[in-house]
A and B are shown apart, each in its own frame.
Chain A
């Protein structure tokens, strides 16, 4: 502030109308400007006469009742407190002796800080002129606490005889009495008691953490940890618990409290005494930056939570200001103790106690979405919280969405429209995995359902989730419906009202679906070799026909769509489907198969199959009735698996007369199936290349076993190529309805049985053996290639995982570095603010230099910083003098460090310190210090009046 500005404000300064900044500017200028200094003192003295003039009023101006009230309040309160405590010498900073009253004892010191807090009844308001937050060593005995406080003051240098001073580093180690700067709390909070922290008696270290909570919480984990950044040196192992006075239970009522207020975070109306929750005191001087919004205490949020059922432990809440903003992304997530399911990266959620408490009594494993229920209906909001030991409830959810009743699990397993694959799971999770297909739907629509350990009569609904539509699926009818995320629930071929089939005891669950499909009660007779073989083609043919009928709607749609696409394109479809490939390769054309009939080709040896399959009154060929030759060829070892293997071997195209028995090359590979040929591995491997080898083997096994059973059951069909094809058609959907397989049509996966290979021509045995060896070799090569691919992909995954770990580690290190830098900076800011808060600045100004003396409030020590003070010749020096009640005292002599800044360490100022000034003196040759200033006074400064 320059001279003109200061002079304009001198009158306002005297009348105490200026702001704090203006006051500092004026005082700083007046210290160096004699004119302004004199004028300021003149104005101040004149203004001081004004209150004295105000005393010359008539008492009649005041109402008698008001007078009595004020008098009683003032005098009564003062007398209730008793006499003021004498002020000790080290706390009396003005230093003025008590000379006015001759016989009067020393003036008492006023109480402040924690001592006054503890002595004052809690109901009485705290004087709002000077708040302080005292942290002392112990809570139990007040005397020791007071001793601790006094020890702190001594440690800060007020008492030279203090043992703390003699201790090395005492000033640094002892925690100061944390006095908050002057307007720490608004006037509305004058009656609030301050937080009292219970700290250990030892000197705490920096960066300690405090736990704010109830004084004696039942759960030691309760409360919130608040780490004060380096302001208070507390040891880490101290970990004290802050006690919260009971009186701090009432949140501020009316206006949003400003910075520095204390808030109680907790559930309102939880209990009567209100001692629950955490009190968090936001000291106005600390870590919140200035631009941070005022922490308005969520009085609404505290008082508005639903009073009904308290949220269970483990709930996550958002603590923030109610109605702060629209999107609600502000606030903090607080995980209450006992919570584990919420992951660290989970998105924050709002308080949804309703979602927790109102959820149906679902079984374990339910998944809940926590979000703002009434706020919007979008599904993407909120967080999913998966409770442990759970299983998906998608089925139940879908049933609830569709309004349909769930089906029994057994009904689903036995539903004729579903092909199921029931695999008991032995690992984790336990249960069973059921794969469902639907014949009248595209094969892409299938689903794996993981069931926990459910009984077969458990109510389960099946929801078919559609995978991303493939180009083939798009070309088919029903692709639009297939793109929906949730498909319908199938209950039967004729609609939802169709009753499920009765449960079949699952002695052989892997063949139940097929058996049920064909109407064969496998469980009725354990010895399939007798009873099943006794069935005639009249029993089989309708079942096969029914299977074809089941396939016919889809085949019709496919044919129609193909025809439509061909017509629209004006040319044959360019789709490189395997249909044409199949036709070119001599396999039965897909188009032909789609219709369920073969094209009438002259001389077609399979023409009779059409008659066989589509005549209403079917009667099989006469040779199919024979049984003897089958019985002669079949070997039936005990046990189902052995029986099947025997059946397969017995149907070897090479005659199966026993020459292949024991031949592992043929017997151990079901893929070299009952039809005696490798199932067109080239084509099939291409189609099934997207699925793993394990699953493919499984499918092959299912297919082979089913086919073998049929063939075994109908020995008359052996060698009948047409009937083989019919059986193949009946069996094929089980095999080809594999999700992801692009050519799953019946008949394309499995090759037809080449009847010519079943001839008894011994001349061709060698060629066939070579062909089989070649095919077997090719298949093994493919298996090896697949294994290599799996291994290669495993290596790639390993590298990906390693790279992810390294990237994650680097990211963590980077974040930690930034965090440390930020902490360091914050600590520096806190210390700097602390210095500015505690230091007393005394400005000095000379002709060519300026200086500032930073001193402790007790004037116990300080430092004088001088800029521009010129260098003196030899035998001369600068001397710092301090004027007290006992005269002028030589503080320190120094030499200028010009052109750099000069720092002078100042000792304790004398008693009654009222002025500091610098003179230029002649250096004593004997080293003795000057007793009195003799040189020119270069500059002087005055400590602020207290």
Chain B
């Protein structure tokens, strides 16, 4: 598997999305423009997400062709379902990248054992965020998020990244790193807890 750096540089010019429901100082993203009826904004959406999604898919699939296909399919689905996106309840980046990640995970599992995994296709965005949490993520930059991940302990970072990018469950991670399953679960919980601590608890945002 190709080792992909967890935290990259900030050279990517990220067009910051709107920062809140009121749209204070908001910059309309290409995705928002496309969602509201501008088909030419699809080019901007592709420019914004292709590189990141391809890296994510390549991390998961370790196959450039498969990663390219997963990226293409995921982004196409994201644009197809763009009208269903609710900015009040979810984050755009998470929403778009989630499709690519799902496509990559499906392809990885299908290629692995030719058998769909149990929850495949049942839901695309069932795990939604609360409005306050989504509001919290609106102001999160990729650099901040990467920094939060980078500050994890190494074993926690490995577990979290394997679970996120490669779709491995705790038993698979345990088999890969040679640790008990319970320990891997604890690392996952603790890693997510640490990330959340660095980003700020939702109740704090709510207040």
Seen from chain A, the residues whose Cβ lies within 8 Å of a Cβ on chain B are 8, 10-23, 41-59, 61-63, 66-67, 69-71, 73-75, 77-79, 81-87, 94, 96, 98-102, 104-110, 127-129, 182-183, 186-187, 255, 944-946
Contact = CB atoms under 8 A, between A and B. Distances in A.
Most buried by A among B38, B42, B127, B168: B127
Contacts of B50: 62, 67, 70-71, 74
B108 interface: no
B132 to A, nearest CB: 9
Nearest to A945: B128
A43 B39 contact: no
B79 A8 contact: no
Interface in B18-69: 18, 21-23, 26, 28, 32-40, 42-43, 45-47, 49-52, 54-56, 58, 64, 68
Contacts of A944: 126
Contact of A53 (B58, B127, B142): B142
A79 B164 CA distance: 31
B83 A59 contact: no
A12 B7 contact: no
B52 A54 contact: yes
Contacts of B6: 53
Nearest to A68: B50
A560 to B, nearest CB: 80
Contact of B145 (A17, A56, A99): A56
Contacts of A17: 163, 167-169
B14 A58 contact: no
B76 A77 contact: yes
B192 interface: yes
Given A41-B133, A56-B142, A83 B93 contact: no
Given A47-B192, A75-B45, A58 B28 contact: no
Interface in B68-109: 68, 71-72, 75-77, 79-91, 93-94, 97-98, 101-102, 106
Contacts of B169: 12, 17
Q: Report the interface size class on chain B.
A: 35 or more
Contact of A67 (B43, B51, B89, B110): B51
Nearest to A26: B127
Contact of B116 (A13, A51, A109, A183): A183
B155 interface: no
A742 to B, nearest CB: 75
A21 B123 CA distance: 12
User: Top 7 A-B pairs ranked by shortest CB distance?
Assistant: A945-B128, A78-B42, A53-B145, A51-B97, A57-B8, A56-B142, A19-B118
Given A50-B160, A52-B141, 18 more contacts: A11-B163, A12-B163, A23-B122, A41-B133, A46-B193, A48-B94, A54-B55, A57-B52, A78-B76, A79-B42, A100-B32, A101-B28, A107-B85, A108-B83, A109-B83, A110-B82, A945-B128, A946-B125
A49 B140 contact: yes
Contacts of A50: 145, 149, 160-161, 164-165, 195
Contacts of A78: 34, 39, 42, 45, 76, 79
Nearest to B28: A101
B199 interface: yes
Contacts of B84: 94, 110, 946
Nearest to A73: B72
A268 B38 CA distance: 47
B119 A45 contact: no
A735 B192 CA distance: 110
Given A62-B51, A110-B83, A71 B23 contact: no
Contacts of A42: 192-193, 196, 201-202
Contacts of B117: 19
B106 A187 contact: yes
B55 A61 contact: yes
Q: Is the interface of B mostly helix, strand, loop or mixed?
A: helix
Contact of A99 (B4, B64, B88): B88
A104 B36 contact: yes
A74 B45 contact: yes
A20 B101 CA distance: 17
Contacts of B101: 51
A20 B119 CA distance: 5
B54 A62 contact: yes
A74 B34 CA distance: 12
A18 B168 CA distance: 10
A155 to B, nearest CB: 23
Nearest to B150: A53
Identify the interface centre among A48, A98, A107: most chain B CB within 10 Å of its CB: A48
14 contacts: A12-B170, A16-B102, A44-B133, A51-B56, A54-B165, A61-B51, A61-B58, A62-B50, A74-B46, A100-B87, A101-B26, A104-B36, A107-B35, A127-B80
A127 B170 contact: no
A52 B140 contact: yes
Contact of A183 (B8, B122, B165): B122
Contacts of B81: 110, 129
B37 A83 contact: yes
B54 A70 contact: yes
Contacts of B125: 945-946
Contacts of B39: 78-79, 81-83
A11 B185 contact: yes
Given A87-B83, A96-B86, A127-B77, A20 B37 contact: no
Contacts of A77: 76, 79
B110 A52 contact: no
A129 B124 contact: yes
Most A CB within 10 A of own CB, among B9, B80, B143, B146: B80
Contact of A49 (B46, B90, B145): B145
A94 B8 CA distance: 35
A8 B170 CA distance: 11
B121 A129 contact: yes
Contacts of B178: none
A764 B98 CA distance: 127
A172 B196 CA distance: 49
Given A45-B133, A49-B199, A55 B12 contact: yes
B179 to A, nearest CB: 15
Contacts of B121: 128-129, 182-183
B185 to A, nearest CB: 6
Contacts of B52: 54-55, 57
B202 A61 contact: no
Nearest to B163: A15
Nearest to B93: A52
B129 interface: yes
Nearest to B200: A45
B170 A16 contact: no
Nearest to A190: B73
B106 to A, nearest CB: 7
A384 to B, nearest CB: 46
